[in-house]
Amino acid sequence: MSARRPVAIGGPGARVLCDHRRGMRTAHNFVLVIWPRALVLAIATVALTGCPSSPNADAGDAMDAELPDTILAPDVPADMFRLPDGPPPRLPDDRQACAARNPLRQPYFGDLHVHTTMSFDAVVAGTRLRPRDAYDFARGRPVALPPYDAAGGGGRRSQLDRPLDFAAVTDHGEFLGEIRMCLDPASPGYLDGVCVRLRETPLGTDLFAELGLSLTQPNPMRVRFCQRQPGECLRELRDAWQETQDAAESAYDRTSACQFTSFVGYEWTGTTGASNLHRNVLFRTRQVPWTPVSYYEANTPQRLWSQLDTLCLRAGFGCDVLAIPHNSNLGGGTIFVPRADDAMPYDRAQAEQRARMEPLVEIYQHKGASECLVGWPSPLGPADEQCRFEALPSAICTGRPTDPPDCSPLCGPGVVGGFGSVCPSPNDYVRGALTLGLQERARLGANPFEFGLIGSTDTHNGTPGNVSERTFPGHMAMVDDQPVEQMTGRPGRFSPGGLAVIWADENSRDALFDALRRRETYATSGTRPIVRFFGGWSYAIDLCTVPDLVSQGYAHGVPMGGVLPMRASMTSSPRFVVQAFRDPGSTPDAGAQLAVAQVVKGWLDATGPHERVYDVVGNLNNGAGVDPATCALTGTGSDSLCTVWTDPDFHADEAAFYYVRVIENPTCRWSTRVCTAARVDCTTLPATDPFAQCCHPRLPRDIRERAWTSPIWYYP
Amino acid sequence: MSISRQPLVHFALLGAAIFGVAAARDRIRAHHAARGVDPHVIVVRPELARALRTEAARRNGSAATPEIERAAVRAFVDEEILYREAIALGLDRGDPIVRRRLVQEMETILRGLDARSGPDDRELAAWVSAHRERYVQPARVAFRHVFVSRERSGRDGLARATALFAALDGSEIARGAGLGDPFVVSADVPMESEREIAAAFGPAVAAAAMRAASGRWLAPVESPSGWHVVFVRDRMESRVPAVAEVRSRAAEDFRVDRGDQAFAASLARLRARYRVQ
């Protein structure tokens, strides 16, 4: 474990609030968050083994001694399988032109963060769906979730009432091969200790803890079997990666109907020191590198980018790729740090590389929102209360005296960051990072954090877009299939996750990927409101009465994700067109009305960074509500909102970003439905009851679903 | 798949499987003896030597000299010797990598070499027709709409929409330009399916547009955000695409299906030969 370097960079907002001390406890907390049931066993395991400094090496000498060696000829070189020299062969990647093509663009809804049984954490939890099943689900076909009956049938039926337009299966790039090896009786690793433990400890607990721990090591090593026989593990990895690609290919509609787009992708799962650095890697092309670049090949984000650069972008076989960080709320002060691997501040080229490789951030998913740190005061007024939206406890407990009382055991001396963190940095959040980006641009002339926003689910059930609060089946197979499990511990604070929305000309890989690159995207917390956001200098002030608002929006400015063009005159202030329509709903889910559209502005002046939230149209406190007992809605809101907003505080010499947050009227949160179904009565419920969290004062009864758009930037 | 394109590999492995890859020296000898072949004789035909020479020269970037040929043949022979000795020692037996490779190859063979070359046009057409549900493409309409916002009009919205419809009824599509309130997607909507329309307009407008006759204005239809006066300009009926449009996907589906059937049947036959104790 290396000592953590200080990260006080980029001005007053960038302080890390707590003394992050690293240790084995950190890694156990990582397990805690992902998989609460593993906690007791994991602690017991480590207590017995006494905190091994290299958990990979503990793969069990005892196991090896007891089990037959599967290698018959030890003198034969183990590494019998190597990747071919040179890039993969070119594959045909053409398609028909789409019948539906609209130069004024359509909103497409999808999910770019999906785990299946090929992910190590999902498979040990009992997830059975494969990538093909996940794409089937995304396209509206029903699937069965565990528990299954003795014959492997049955299960809980799940189906989307509105299919998705696009999805990417993003299984963990780490252990793709190991998992496959351990589940194939013909594999030489099948009887290796690591595989026996995967199959034979309860739900794979023991192995899960070990694999999770290995991802927290700064210099990770693969499990012993794969160190001894790297070729065999590589072969399995190739096999799994091929399945990922084949599933994406067969789901992609290459006909003119353009009904569904898939992307080949995976998750890079670096969790150094238990701080979440995870990225989803997404390919535009059918052509992808021979294997995913995982934490084992690239143990820092910078190395990930340069390897993707070498193996994809500059490999000369037509490969294109980008990466999307997520759960910066668990970043422990490390995810948006403008320093290179050598701890030196970014130079301009490094800042540009980061912006090029990571044009987007996933702001919302089942493990909470990453918009802004709860309780972080703005110099111009009170803290933004909306930062509490679906915040994990880590975002609520800041380590300051003003914390709620029940934070104290969670956040104090010796408490660590990241997955174990209850003491995050404001820069772990999108708003802090966008602000830091302005400062970096002032320093370097390039903004490393010039990113747009998407949401997704991070489902570990293999069910993309399964975001309804009405039908939340849990997040990870047998870990939280029961209502009482969903309400135990931190999972009570989880949610079904969100969606990615892309404004594109048509539903094809190229059109969607182009839009991701230009950041013409927004995130939702799971519902489907439709939001336009344009910025420019010359919009008519009455544009909201003009039928061709959209074409005017494009003609005289930039859409969400853009950078404002040069000013037309020295005196003007920028104008922003904000247009939001309620989720038009589906037959079972009517969709809620809208309450308010807000512009969140962050800017830099001589005294440092500032932020402010403007209610630009609608009314957050419109009196609408929801009855938690029946989930019936009360009060009214708006079916659509539109305004042309001129920044009243604009100064031409101050760099700024603007993004829109659209907030719906309240509806019942999934946990309220679960608690109601369990007939929980908070007046009589003992504190020890498994459903006690139903009555926790900080567990929200309702949810104000919302959308966050990509920002529009202004640079002097 | 690359292996599947190498019938020689299949042939060799099929032979190996049939004659006992897991056999020991005596079985190999018996086999060779039965065919009148000496297991210690390695035949290098002239055309093979020529191919080895050409390939070696190409790789070395040199002329195809007799020295090159000798070296290439020697390398080939050495490898063959090692292979035969390994078989004779039974090294293939119990080696899980060899085992899995052979199992995979056997499965590939049982799936049928024929399936990889098919289907022909007639078979493909029959396949697509028999599995219409897999390939059917939804009906689509292209339309223009005039939007009346409930937010802007309040209680008067329906009256406004009805008045707009009265003014437009019977007129050309062009008359609808520049009327109404701004909607969140463009007034002219390209060829979209019901599901695509519903994403922005909600289910009611989508269903109405799909039902509507082309070439005239429809009475206002209510959506979650207001009222829409719709003119369907063009439509495409739901259809099973021409075989040519889905050729690669349908051919792959066909081959997978044929392979599944062939494999299941062959495996059933093989199972009957074995007894589990």
Q: What is the ipTM of this complex?
A: 0.83
A582 touches chain B (CB under 8 A): yes
Q: Residue B155 — pLDDT band, cuts 50, 70, 90? A: confident
Q: What is the mean pLDDT of residues A71-75?
A: 28
Half-sphere exposure of A292 (CA within 13 A, CB side): 33
pLDDT of res. A268: 97
CA distance A329 to B254: 48
pLDDT at B141 over 50: yes
CA distance A37 to A125: 10
Q: What is the pLDDT of residues B40-77, one digit of tens each?
A: 888 888 888 888 888 787 777 778 888 888 888 998 89
pLDDT of res. A336: 94
Higher pLDDT, B34 or A434: A434
Helix (H, G, I), strand (E, B) or coil at A675: helix
pLDDT of res. B49: 84
For A596, phi then psi, to 5°, come to: -155, 150
Q: In A, which residues are within 8 Å of B184 by CB distance?
A: 530-532, 550, 579-581, 640
Higher pLDDT, A250 or B249: A250
- Contacting residues for A691 by C-beta, under 8 A, at least 6 apart: A484, A487, A675, A678, A680, A685
Among A residues 592-651, those touching chain B with beta carbons less than 8 Å apart = 638-642
Mean pLDDT (chain A) is 83
Are the beta carbons of A187 and B100 separated by less than 8 Å? yes
Structural domain contains residue B224: yes
A158 within 8 A of A145, measured Cβ to Cβ:
yes
Q: What is the mean pLDDT of residues A438-456?
A: 98
A24-38, A283-297, B90-104: which range is least confident on average?
A24-38
For A484, phi then psi, to 5°, come to: -65, -30
For A641, phi then psi, to 5°, come to: -130, 140
Q: Residue A507 — pLDDT band, cuts 50, 70, 90? A: very high
Structural domain contains residue B112: no
Percentages helix, strand, coil for chain B (3-state, rounded to 5) are 60, 10, 30
A621 within 8 A of A415, measured Cβ to Cβ:
no
CA distance A134 to A115: 8
A207 within 8 A of A183, measured Cβ to Cβ:
no
Nearest to B181 among A163, A232, A545 (CB): A545
pLDDT of res. A613: 95
Q: What is the mean pLDDT of residues B24-38?
A: 57
pLDDT of res. B107: 84
Structural domain contains residue B2: no
A186 touches chain B (CB under 8 A): yes
pLDDT of res. A615: 97
CA distance A442 to A448: 11
pLDDT of res. A4: 31
Among A residues 146-165, those touching chain B with beta carbons less than 8 Å apart = 162-163, 165
pLDDT of res. B116: 55
Distances (CA, A) of A620 to A326, A364, A602, A625: 28, 21, 21, 11
A250 touches chain B (CB under 8 A): yes
Name the amino acid, one letter, at A491. Answer: P
pLDDT of res. B113: 55
Are the beta carbons of B140 and A99 separated by less than 8 Å? yes
**For chains A and B, what is the number of CB pairs under 8 angstroms?**
139
Q: What is the pLDDT of residues A332-378, one digit of tens each?
A: 888 999 999 999 999 999 999 999 999 999 999 999 999 998 776 65
A57 within 8 A of A224, measured Cβ to Cβ:
yes
Render the burial of A507-522: b for 16+ CB within 10 Å, e for the rest: bbbbbbbebbbbbbbb
Minimal Cα–Cα distance from A592 to chain B, Å? Answer: 10
CA distance A23 to A387: 30
The length of chain B is 277
CA distance A664 to A389: 12
Are the beta carbons of A80 and B97 separated by less than 8 Å? yes
pLDDT at A515 over 90: yes
CA distance A676 to A628: 8
pLDDT at B198 over 50: yes
Structural domain contains residue B96: no
Nearest to A548 among B103, B187, B241 (CB): B187
Are the beta carbons of A586 and B203 separated by less than 8 Å? yes
A79 touches chain B (CB under 8 A): no
Q: Residue B249 — pLDDT band, cuts 50, 70, 90? A: confident
pLDDT of res. A251: 92
Beta bridge partners of A646: A575
DSSP string, A497-546: --EEEEEESSSSHHHHHHHHHTT-EEEESSS--EEEEEEES---TTGGG-
CA distance A248 to A512: 15
Q: What is the pTM of this model?
A: 0.81
Cis peptide upstream of residue A92 (ω within 30 degrees of 0): no
Mean pLDDT (chain B) is 83
Among A residues 253-272, those touching chain B with beta carbons less than 8 Å apart = 254-257, 259
Q: What is the pLDDT of residues A385-411, one digit of tens each?
A: 899 899 887 677 666 666 666 665 555
Structure tokens at B89: 């020692």
Element (H, E) at A661: strand A656-664
Q: In A, which residues are within 8 Å of B140 by CB distance?
A: 99-100
Evaluate the CA torsion angle B36, B41, B44, B46 in order and state its sign. negative
pLDDT at A107 over 60: yes
What is the percent of chain A where pLDDT is above 70? 82
pLDDT of res. A241: 95
Among A residues 463-522, those touching chain B with beta carbons less than 8 Å apart = none
Are the beta carbons of B226 and A584 separated by less than 8 Å? no
Q: Kindly report the three-state secondary structure assignment for every residue of A69-114.
A: CCCCCCCCCCCCCCCCCCCCCCCCCCCCCCCCCCCCCEEEEEECCE
pLDDT at A652 over 70: yes
- What's the total number of domains in chain B? 2
pLDDT of res. A110: 98
Distances (CA, A) of A656 to A350, A574, B23: 22, 11, 76
Structural domain contains residue B194: yes
pLDDT of res. A574: 95
Residue ranges making up the domain that contains B63:
23-91
CA distance B99 to B90: 12
Q: What is the mean pLDDT of residues B163-175?
A: 95
Minimal Cα–Cα distance from B11 to chain A, Å? Answer: 23
Structural domain contains residue B243: no
Q: What is the pLDDT of residues B182-191, one digit of tens each?
A: 999 999 999 9
Are the beta carbons of B245 and A96 separated by less than 8 Å? yes
Structural domain contains residue B81: yes
Structural domain contains residue B107: no
Nearest to A72 among B94, B189, B198 (CB): B94
Q: In A, which residues are within 8 Å of B225 by CB distance?
A: 581-582, 584, 639-640
Q: What is the CATH number of the domain that holds B145?
A: 3.10.50.40
pLDDT of res. B30: 58
Higher pLDDT, A512 or A96: A512
Q: In B, which residues are within 8 Å of A186 by CB distance?
A: 96, 99-100, 103
Q: What is the pLDDT of residues A618-632, one digit of tens each?
A: 999 999 999 999 999
Residue of chain A with shortest Cα separation from B203: A586
Minimal Cα–Cα distance from B189 to chain A, Å? Answer: 7
Nearest to B95 among A72, A101, A163 (CB): A72
pLDDT of res. B55: 76
pLDDT at A29 over 60: no
Q: What is the mean pLDDT of residues A297-314?
A: 95
A699 within 8 A of A391, measured Cβ to Cβ:
no
pLDDT of res. A86: 75
Q: In A, which residues are within 8 Å of B203 by CB distance?
A: 584-587
What is the percent of chain A where pLDDT is above 90? 60
